[in-house]
A and B are shown apart, each in its own frame.
Chain A
Amino acid sequence: MIGGIPLGDVLLASGALFLIGIAGALLRRNAITIFLSIEVMMNAANLALVGYGAALGTREGQIVVFFVIAIAAAEAAVGLAIFVSLFRHTESINVNEIHLLKW
């Protein structure tokens, strides 16, 4: 029941979360923290989707969020596997020390 919740509040929270995620992804050097920041950004988008879905009275927003969460799970599994194998090679997950593809 969004009766008492203005959409502006939802969008403000979503925007703030997205900004925090961007800040983390840009400023942190730990690969796993960057990954977590990306998760925060996805959750910000989820919040906006659910908010709009509730405001417009449709369920499509929730469906999209369902797919986003499932894809985030797949992405986390593959990404963390990449970090594990990367850590075996370089003994570090600091993104400044990882420059295999950087010439």
Chain B
Amino acid sequence: MAGFPVERIAFDLAAAAAVLFASVMVVHKHPVKSVLALVVAFFGLAVCFVLLSAPFLAAIQVIVYAGAILVLFLFVLMLLNVDVEARLPGDRRPLHVFLSSGALLLFAAALLSLLRREGASVPAGRYGPAGAEIAPLARLLFSDYLLPFEALSVLLLAALVGAFVLARREGP
């Protein structure tokens, strides 16, 4: 690990980009631009996955998340013709804002204390280049995790039917 920590810098850059665009997603008033910002954030996360020796998940992240799920969001947004988020009269009640920010601060504090402890105790990995191979992953998925995998296919079918039934126009 001597010399310039290229991987660390690349990871930090990609993670910073992901965090930045995720916050753009939250802050932006226009939902379509929110979705587009999230696409960029998920690409950053895919880069993180590659650097953490999970190239299969990086591909899945790009294809399924950025490619399918977020495009589905875009389709629905354009179908519903959602405009910029309107501010209703009773929207920002002081109690609501107070409780929300209190919960956020509490969670941030808990997270920071946890990170300080966990980051120090868990050793940085010894995952060689061989760890990035996909074949062992597939073997694991189709042996030990075969039952969850098949259950997942049933779940996806159920979601397909459920989405069809829910979004169907009622009436004659």
Report which of B5, B155, B167, B169 forms a contact with A74, defined as CB distance below 8 A: B155
B contact residues around A80 at 8 Å (CB): 72-73, 76, 163, 167
Could you tell me the distance between the alpha carbons of A57 and B92 in the complex, rounded to whole angstroms? 47
Residue-wise, chain B 88-101 has the 8 Å CB interface mask toward A (1 for contact) of 10110000000010
In contact, A27 and B79 (Cβ under 8 angstroms):
no
Report which of B23, B45, B131, B137 forms a contact with A54, defined as CB distance below 8 A: B131
The A24-60 residues at the B interface (CB cut-off 8 A) are: 24, 26-30, 32-33, 35-37, 39-40, 43, 46-47, 50-57, 59-60
In contact, A78 and B166 (Cβ under 8 angstroms):
yes
B contact residues around A16 at 8 Å (CB): 19
In contact, B107 and A22 (Cβ under 8 angstroms):
yes
The B132-163 residues at the A interface (CB cut-off 8 A) are: 132, 136-137, 140-141, 145, 148, 152, 155-156, 158-160, 162-163
B contact residues around A36 at 8 Å (CB): 25, 34-35, 38, 73
In contact, B8 and A63 (Cβ under 8 angstroms):
no
B: interface residue count bin: 35 or more
Q: Is the interface of A mostly helix, strand, loop or mixed?
A: helix
The B51-101 residues at the A interface (CB cut-off 8 A) are: 51-54, 56-57, 60-61, 64-65, 68-69, 72-73, 76-77, 79-80, 82, 85-86, 88, 90-91, 100
Residue-wise, chain A 59-103 has the 8 Å CB interface mask toward B (1 for contact) of 110110111011111111110111111011000011011000000
Residue-wise, chain B 110-145 has the 8 Å CB interface mask toward A (1 for contact) of 011001001110111111110110001100110001
A contact residues around B104 at 8 Å (CB): 19, 22-23, 26
A-B contacts, CB under 8 A, total: 252
A contact residues around B159 at 8 Å (CB): 73-75, 77-78
In contact, B25 and A67 (Cβ under 8 angstroms):
no
In contact, A2 and B124 (Cβ under 8 angstroms):
yes
In contact, B122 and A29 (Cβ under 8 angstroms):
no
* 5 pairs, A vs B, C-beta closer than 8 Å: A5-B7, A11-B118, A29-B91, A77-B162, A84-B76
Known: A5-B125, A46-B57. 4 other contacts (CB 8 A): A12-B15, A66-B57, A69-B60, A85-B167
Chain B interface (Cβ < 8 Å from any Cβ of A):
1, 5-8, 11-12, 15-16, 18-19, 22-23, 25-26, 31, 34-35, 38, 41-42, 45, 48-49, 51-54, 56-57, 60-61, 64-65, 68-69, 72-73, 76-77, 79-80, 82, 85-86, 88, 90-91, 100, 103-104, 107-108, 111-112, 115, 118-120, 122-129, 131-132, 136-137, 140-141, 145, 148, 152, 155-156, 158-160, 162-167, 169
